């Protein structure tokens, strides 16, 4: 368990440890003969650079902190995966933290990452209060919010265009002939969801349709709460809606489950449209039509932004709102083919 250090190598090679360091770093001020000799010894003795010590003097850890609400959530794990790949490609490691949807814990891990001297932090915030709670620490380290609600705030930011996505989805449903559409899982207090709800409302009104909503009282969105909400909904008699636009894919999955149990056939009797395009949605028998977030592009942008800041340029904030697209699978049908 003993670590070989530069000094150990230096002793064997009979040079100063500065020379060893230079041999390793590819410095010009060392003869090729010495370099080869030193490198050989390093290899033989199994030397590995101590990045902790290097970080001390270089004042950089080559590490990016990633805070997600919960890796065990398809959207998050996909984002984590993309972030990891892009960061590694640029020579950065990822330190992963869960906030568990808890603002307190989020703050705690943020401070922790600052203390660990990560070079930057990418965060998928736990709530819309995240920015205010975190901002006292944000001047310590380049930070970017993904998919949060921080637009119009002085902070690096990347997100899908939630409003445009909702318009896209609603237009699609209306194009299919639906007029009785329920926006499922509207949430107060989340800008993301406000944008989505507004896109729906505006599009309905544009087509002379009265928008209808089912509110989600929970602060987070999950299959579970989608299921509960939908079960209540389906227990009512004379349900006259022909399509559901769920505010998230997880909610949509909950709706599918409840519909299944209530004997409502999807999509024959009820069309369901989701938002996010999580990997679950592509599963057989699920085949959820949904509005997609460009996850990889968002991850790439986030990493890129952090790297730019580290390089020292980039004084202002980078804010980017990305275009969504709709991915059509099998959970929505034209109204004519519905049978009630």
Partner DNA sequence: TGCTATAGAGCAAACGTTTGCATTCCGACA
Partner DNA sequence: TGTCGGAATGCAAACGTTTGCTCTATAGCA
Q: How far is the CB of 334 from a copy of itself (least distance, A)?
A: 22
> Does 149 help bind a copy of itself (rule: CB under 8 A)?
no
Number of residues assigned to the chain: 340
Task: Report residue 39 as tokens.
Answer: 């490198």
Window 246-285: contact mask with a copy of itself (x via CB under 8 A): -------x--xx--x------------------xx--xxx
Round to whole Å and give the CA distance between 232 and 280: 24
Among DNA, a copy of itself, none, what does residue 265 contact (CB within 5–8 Å per kind)?
Answer: none
Using the contact rule CB under 7 A, the part of the chain among 42-50, 199-207, 229-237, 286-294 near DNA is 42-50
Q: How far is the CB of 322 from DNA (least distance, A)?
A: 37
Q: How far is the CB of 82 from a copy of itself (least distance, A)?
A: 8
Among DNA, a copy of itself, none, what does residue 19 contact (CB within 5–8 Å per kind)?
Answer: DNA
Among DNA, a copy of itself, none, what does residue 58 contact (CB within 5–8 Å per kind)?
Answer: DNA
Beta bridge partners, 291, equal: 275, 326
Q: How far is the CB of 307 from DNA (least distance, A)?
A: 18
Q: How far is the CB of 123 from DNA (least distance, A)?
A: 23
Pairing of strands 325-327, 289-292: antiparallel
Nearest CA among 151, 116, 117, 113 for reference residue 131: 151
Conformational region of residue 184, where left means phi above 0, alpha means psi within -120 to 50, and beta covers everything else: beta
- Using alpha carbons only, how large is the chain's radius of gyration in Å? 26
> Does 223 help bind a copy of itself (rule: CB under 8 A)?
yes
Q: Where are the beta strands (DSSP E) in 62-196?
A: 63-68, 93-98, 120-123, 143-146, 156-160, 181-186
Q: Which of 14, 29, 48, 238 binds a copy of itself (CB under 8 A)?
A: 48
Nearest-10 crossing angle of helices 17-25, 6-13? 110
DSSP state of 337: G
Among a copy of itself, DNA, none, what does residue 29 contact (CB within 5–8 Å per kind)?
Answer: DNA
Q: Which of 1, 43, 46, 57 binds DNA (CB under 7 A)?
A: 57
Round to whole Å and give the CA distance between 161 and 192: 9
Window 19-38: contact mask with DNA (x via CB under 7 A): x-xx-xx--xxxxxxx----
Round to whole Å and give the CA distance between 148 and 270: 31
Write the DSSP string, 218-248: SSS--HHHHHHHHHHHHHSSS----EEEESS
> Does 137 help bind DNA (rule: CB under 7 A)?
no
Summarize as ranges the residues that interact with a copy of itself (CB under 8 A).
1, 3, 46, 48-53, 55-56, 61, 63, 66, 70-72, 74, 77-78, 80-82, 84-85, 88, 93-98, 111-112, 114-117, 136, 139-141, 223, 253, 256-257, 260, 279-280, 283-286
Summarize as ranges the residues that interact with DNA (CB under 7 A).
3, 5-7, 14-19, 21-22, 24-25, 28-34, 47, 49-50, 53-54, 56-59
């Amino acid at each position: 368990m003993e670590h070989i250090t530069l000094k150990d190598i230096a002793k064997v090679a009979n040079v100063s440890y500065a020379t060893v360091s230079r041999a390793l770093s590819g410095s010009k001020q060392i003869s090729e003969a010495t370099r080869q000799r030193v490198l050989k010894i390093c290899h033989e003795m199994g030397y590995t650079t101590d990045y902790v010590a290097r970080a001390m003097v270089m004042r950089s850890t080559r590490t990016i902190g990633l805070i997600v609400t919960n890796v065990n959530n398809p959207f998050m794990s996909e984002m984590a995966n993309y972030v990891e790949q892009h960061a590694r490609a640029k020579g950065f490691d990822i330190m992963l933290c869960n906030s568990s949807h808890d603002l307190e814990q989020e703050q705690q891990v943020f401070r922790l990452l600052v203390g660990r001297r990560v070079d930057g932090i990418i965060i998928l915030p736990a709530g819309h209060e995240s920015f205010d709670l975190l901002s006292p620490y944000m001047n310590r380290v380049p930070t970017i919010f993904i998919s949060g609600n921080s637009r119009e705030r002085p902070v690096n930011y990347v997100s899908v265009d939630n409003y445009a996505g909702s318009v896209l989805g609603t237009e699609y449903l209306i194009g299919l002939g639906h007029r009785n559409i329920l926006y499922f899982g509207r949430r107060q207090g989340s800008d993301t969801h406000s944008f989505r709800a507004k896109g729906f409302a505006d599009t309905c009104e544009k087509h002379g349709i009265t928008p209808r909503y089912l509110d989600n009282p929970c602060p987070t969105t999950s299959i579970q709460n989608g299921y509960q909400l939908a079960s209540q909904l389906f227990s009512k008699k004379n349900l006259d809606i022909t399509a559901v636009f769920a505010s998230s894919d997880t909610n949509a999955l909950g709706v599918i489950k409840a519909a299944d149990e209530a004997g409502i056939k999807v999509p024959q009797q009820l069309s369901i449209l989701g938002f996010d395009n999580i990997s679950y949605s592509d599963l057989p028998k699920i085949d959820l039509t949904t509005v997609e977030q460009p996850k990889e592009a968002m991850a790439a942008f986030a990493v890129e932004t952090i790297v730019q800041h580290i390089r020292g340029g980039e004084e202002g904030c980078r804010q980017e709102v990305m275009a969504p697209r709709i991915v059509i699978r099998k959970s929505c049908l034209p109204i004519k083919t519905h049978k009630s």
